């Protein structure tokens, strides 16, 4: 039977303290003990079922972590206060001074800045490569390389990583393959394809209501315990802990993720085909014209589709800005960064979410001025939306 990650979430069963259908929210930063010895054992991590202090762990965070681990088919997971709060400790845990990372060059601007500008302060260096070219990836590996890092579907160019092949490379050189799966939850299950660690910014599709930031790391119990170790764990010691109120609300939203992803994907495929038929340069992994369409198909959990993200290139930043302002005025979506909302969100990545990447490098990777990144919403009638977008494109003489 093929893995269905949504079933794994559905199959969990929780009750609240008084028989509530949702688990009770743990509203305490610290926990009491009857016996002092149990407190000591809990601090050392040896008293199962006991809680000491909510930066270490809390019942609400464990519930959410368990559900996300189930979704990704992981042994364990650790939630964090943001996506960056999940990414940064993972890389610090896996790499020390003198070690090296090979990363896709098209990744979220914040992750890029962290690898390029921040990690060198600790003598951890990164080679940025075209992740779709396996020979180039392999050539960048040195004897000091510890991690191969990529996004399943990259932000903002929507390049698709061939996770099976990258995993084979990682195994050959004894590296950890760390995959940010923020753009393709449910659609792609990287651990089943050979990744070692999967990260999400929960801020996006998984929470889906643009009301909080959050992150998660999914992996083996051993690795998650390393991150949470009170003496040596990067998550524990850098302290990017999610608040219990938030983990409770994200868990509730997670339960509808499968329905939302299907609608995001259906709407995005519809619009991508329509934009392409108007002669606009459109990138969407579900289009035959996408250079990794067949790789995506070979990896995907079919019913969740190709995701809600697409890009179009309207030729110049001025045109992109004019179009986004007009679409917002006509209430077709919001001129805002981030993704996974019920409304369509659009931004020009070169001047927003990828602005950390220097201009010459943006050019080299194909990040053009006229590029607009769309996170397609849950519109009930996407054909009506398209007609209105086409009118906006015509009004600005883009088509």
- The correct pick among 185, 215, 305, 307 for binding ligand PLP (CB under 6 A) is 215
CB closer to ligand PLP, 84 vs 95: 84
Whole-number Cα distances in Å, 40 to 75, 221, 289 = 26, 22, 60
- The correct pick among 155, 240, 311, 392 for binding ligand PLP (CB under 6 A) is 155
The phi and psi torsions of 397 (rounded to 5 degrees) equal: 55, 35
| CA 141 and chain centroid, separation | 24
- Interaction between residue 161 and ligand PLP (CB under 6 A): no
- Interaction between residue 159 and ligand PLP (CB under 6 A): no
- CB nearest ligand PLP: which residue? 83
CA torsion through residues 240, 243, 248, 252, sign:
negative
The number of beta carbons lying within 10 Å of the beta carbon of residue 363 is 13
The phi and psi torsions of 38 (rounded to 5 degrees) equal: -65, -35
Q: Which two structure tokens, joined as six digits, stand for 358?
A: 């220097």
Stretch that binds ligand PLP, among 50-58, 104-112, 127-135, 248-256 (CB under 6 A): 104-112
CB closer to ligand PLP, 23 vs 214: 214
Stretch that binds ligand PLP, among 29-37, 103-111, 320-328, 343-351 (CB under 6 A): 103-111
Q: Smallest distance from the beta carbon of 389 to ligand PLP, in angstroms?
A: 23
Burial zone of 358 (CB within 10 Å; 0-12 exposed, 13-18 middle, 19+ buried): exposed
Q: Smallest distance from the beta carbon of 194 to ligand PLP, in angstroms?
A: 20
DSSP structure string for 11-36: T-----TTS-SSPPP---SB---SSH
- Interaction between residue 203 and ligand PLP (CB under 6 A): yes
Identify residues 321-380 at the interface with ligand PLP (CB under 6 A). Answer: 353
DSSP structure string for 79-132: EESSSHHHHHHHHHHH--TT-EEEEESSS-HHHHHIIIIIGGGGT-EEEEE-TT
Q: Smallest distance from the beta carbon of 102 to ligand PLP, in angstroms?
A: 18
| CA 313 and chain centroid, separation | 23
- Interaction between residue 180 and ligand PLP (CB under 6 A): yes
H or E element at residue 306: none
- The correct pick among 69, 77, 84, 327 for binding ligand PLP (CB under 6 A) is 84
User: What is residue 216's DSSP assignment?
Assistant: E
CB closer to ligand PLP, 152 vs 385: 152
Q: Smallest distance from the beta carbon of 312 to ligand PLP, in angstroms?
A: 18
Q: Smallest distance from the beta carbon of 130 to ligand PLP, in angstroms?
A: 18
Total residues binding ligand PLP (CB under 6 A):
16
Contact code string over 106-135 relative to ligand PLP, x by CB under 6 A: --x-xx------------------------
The residues binding ligand PLP (CB under 6 A) are 82-84, 108, 110-111, 151, 155, 180, 182-183, 201, 203, 213, 215, 353
């Amino acid at each position: 039977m093929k893995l269905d990650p949504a079933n794994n979430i559905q199959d969990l069963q929780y009750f609240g303290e008084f028989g509530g259908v949702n688990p009770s929210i743990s509203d305490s930063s610290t926990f009491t003990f009857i016996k002092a010895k149990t407190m000591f054992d809990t601090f050392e991590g040896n008293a199962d079922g006991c809680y000491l202090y909510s930066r270490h762990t809390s019942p609400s965070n464990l519930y959410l972590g368990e559900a996300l681990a189930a979704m990704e088919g992981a042994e364990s997971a650790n939630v964090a206060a943001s996506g960056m709060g999940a990414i940064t400790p993972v890389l610090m845990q896996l790499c020390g001074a003198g070690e090296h990372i090979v990363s896709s060059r098209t990744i979220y601007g914040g992750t890029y800045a962290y690898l390029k500008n921040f990690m060198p302060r600790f003598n951890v260096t990164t080679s940025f490569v075209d992740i779709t070219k396996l020979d180039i990836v392999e050539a960048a590996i040195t004897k000091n390389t510890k991690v191969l890092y990529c996004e399943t579907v990259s932000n903002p160019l929507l390049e698709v990583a061939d996770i099976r092949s990258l995993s084979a490379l990682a195994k050959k050189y004894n590296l950890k393959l760390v995959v940010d799966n923020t753009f393709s939850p449910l659609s792609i299950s990287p651990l089943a394809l050979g990744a070692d660690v999967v990260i999400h910014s929960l801020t996006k599709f998984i929470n889906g209501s643009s009301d909080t930031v959050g992150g998660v790391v999914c992996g083996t119990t051993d690795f998650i315990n390393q991150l949470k170790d009170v003496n040596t764990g990067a998550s524990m010691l850098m302290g990017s802990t999610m608040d219990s109120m938030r983990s409770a609300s994200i868990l509730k939203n997670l339960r509808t993720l499968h329905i939302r992803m299907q609608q995001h994907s259906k709407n995005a495929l519809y619009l991508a085909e329509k934009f392409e038929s108007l002669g606009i340069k459109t990138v969407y992994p579900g289009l035959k014209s996408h250079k990794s369409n067949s790789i995506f198909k070979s990896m995907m959990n079919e019913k969740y589709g190709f995701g809600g993200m697409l890009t179009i290139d309207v030729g110049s930043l001025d045109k992109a800005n004019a179009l986004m302002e007009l679409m917002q005025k006509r209430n077709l979506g919001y001129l805002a960064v981030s993704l996974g909302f019920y409304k369509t969100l659009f931004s020009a990545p070169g001047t927003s979410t990828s602005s950390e990447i220097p201009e010459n490098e943006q050019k080299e990777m194909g990040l053009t001025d006229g590029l607009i990144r769309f996170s397609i919403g849950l519109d009930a009638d996407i054909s009506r939306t398209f007609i209105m977008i086409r009118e906006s494109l015509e009004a600005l003489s883009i088509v």
